[in-house]
Amino acid sequence: MSCGLRDVVNLEQQGRPSVLVHTEAFQESALRQTSQLGQPAIRRVVVPHPVQDRTDAEIRALAHGALEEILGALGRRPSS
């Protein structure tokens, strides 16, 4: 999650709207790290944990289920 978070922060700093997608197990970590990086309001979408043991079909379903929330998040700028 840490590398993805830094990617999202960097993209946002370049003016490219981005969304951090992470599992619920990383909520506290994401909040702490985004605050430490000066971006506490970064757009985030939380999906169920864990993902590593899911089948390809389950991952696709998970992504499909998060799509509207991701698109909705991209439709607004983070409040700084």
Q: Which residue has the tokens 């430490």?
A: 36
Contact between 34 and 42 (Cβ < 8 Å): yes
Determine the pLDDT at residue 80.
46
pLDDT in tens, 19-65: 999 999 999 999 999 999 888 889 999 999 999 999 999 999 999 99
Please indicate, yes or no, if residue 46 is contained in any of the structural domains: yes
CA distance 19 to 44: 5
Backbone angles phi, psi at 21, to 5 degrees: -110, 120
Contact between 23 and 50 (Cβ < 8 Å): yes
Single pTM value for the model: 0.83
pLDDT in tens, 9-22: 999 989 999 999 99
Please indicate, yes or no, if residue 80 is contained in any of the structural domains: no
Please indicate, yes or no, if residue 79 is contained in any of the structural domains: no
Strands 20-23 and 44-47: parallel
Q: How many domains does the chain have?
A: 1
Instruction: Reply yes or no on whether the pLDDT at 67 is more than 90.
Output: yes
Could you list the residue range(s) of the whole structural domain that residue 44 is in? 2-74
Note if the bond before 50 is cis, omega within 30 degrees: yes
Determine the pLDDT at residue 7.
94
